[in-house]
Amino acid sequence: MDAETQEVPVLPGRLTNLRSRLPKPQERSLTSIFVIGTLFSGSTLMGRDMTARIKMAHYVGELNNFTQVPDFSHKDSGRGCGPCSLLGKQCRHFTDALRDRVSYDDILGMHEQFARSLGVSAIVDGSKFVAWMRRAVEQRAVEQRVADRASRTAVSAIITVRNPIAFAISHRNRTGEALWRGAGIWRDTYVDALRTANFHGLPQLVVRYEDYMADRERSLERLAAFLHLPLSPKPDNTSIHDTGGNWSSFVPYVGREQLEKFIQQLHGSGRTDAENFIKHARAYWNDEKPQEDTRWHNSINAGDAHGVLSTPGLADVASILGYNIAEVVHLAIKG
Ligand SMILES: [Zn+2]
């Protein structure tokens, strides 16, 4: 769907007149795509695959951390390019100069800077917070009145999701919180994601992690079609530049050994955070691309499942996102 025709109300009698005033598709400077969803929904993995396979698109990672936006960023993380720093390379794109030039006060302007530096037409922003996307859309609404550039920036959303039971288990592993706490976060995040994308009329695509892991090719075809960009048959892993992301997501790109070495060199709280983060995931590391998401299968009892499902509205939201909740429960319960 064409974002411009969707966003401008077109009345039949005024069609010709309006069409002439709309920018032609080839004049559009940039598409900004926001990945929104919870942690553990596979956004980094999907994003890097998009960089490697969809030619004019680049996943840039967690720009909320890069710009240290108040309330929605982790201190001391995501300030540089993850893949380059792990490989001991100087990044040509996530530079100090660029960081000084950009701000969370102009998110789409920052996307333009990255697009220019990376030579692409679509920037995939992996910040994941719905509030971050909302901020960008609100900035666009203000700028649209004064600038031509902003009116040409098309914004869309990719909603990444992992089923609520798997999320609640990962959340418990990571934080020690009860399953029902994670279930509440899951429900609130996706209610907010869906209502925000719909309220602003943004084109959107739901990518379920389980489907992604089961058939990545099919998911990448969907993503390329959504962006109106061609999918390359072979991945190009040589120019992956992004910031932040789950430690485990680096394994397929740099190898287990290199990542272990890097974490050992960290100091103080950075090292403790990294060790905590990977405590449960490390056992599953291997140098291959991750396989199907089955870690949560056969892992909880009926009481735990009830703790997740008794969250009001959760089953409804899961159904809207395309889950067969009965099947999810069946797979999750120890039998
Ligand atoms: Zn880099």
Give pLDDT tens digits for 44-71. Answer: 999 999 999 999 999 999 999 888 888 8
Q: Which residues of the chain have pLDDT under 50?
A: 1-27, 150
- Within 13 Å, how many C-alpha atoms sit on residue 70's CB side? 1
Cα(241) to ligand 1 centroid in Å equals: 4
pLDDT by residue (tens digit) across 242-257?
998 677 777 877 778 8
Cα(182) to ligand 1 centroid in Å equals: 33
Neighbours of 228 (CB within 10 A): 14
Give pLDDT, residue 152: 62
Cα(257) to ligand 1 centroid in Å equals: 20
Give pLDDT, residue 116: 94
Cα(48) to ligand 1 centroid in Å equals: 12
Cα(203) to ligand 1 centroid in Å equals: 29
Give pLDDT, residue 3: 40
Cα(92) to ligand 1 centroid in Å equals: 6
Question: Which structural domains are found in the chain, ordered by start?
Answer: 28-238+249-254 (3.40.50.300)
Mean pLDDT, the chain, rounded, equals 86
Give pLDDT, residue 191: 98
3-class DSSP assignment, residue 56? coil
Give pLDDT, residue 215: 93
Q: Which two tokens stand for residue 200?
A: 């602003």
Cα(14) to ligand 1 centroid in Å equals: 47
Rounded to two decimals, the pTM is 0.84
Cα(239) to ligand 1 centroid in Å equals: 7
Residue type, 206: V
Give pLDDT, residue 78: 73
- Phi, psi angle pair for 319, to nearest 5°: -65, -40
Cα(98) to ligand 1 centroid in Å equals: 13
Give pLDDT, residue 10: 38
Separation between Cα atoms, residue 107 and residue 148, nearest integer Å: 16
Give pLDDT, residue 163: 98
Cα(187) to ligand 1 centroid in Å equals: 34
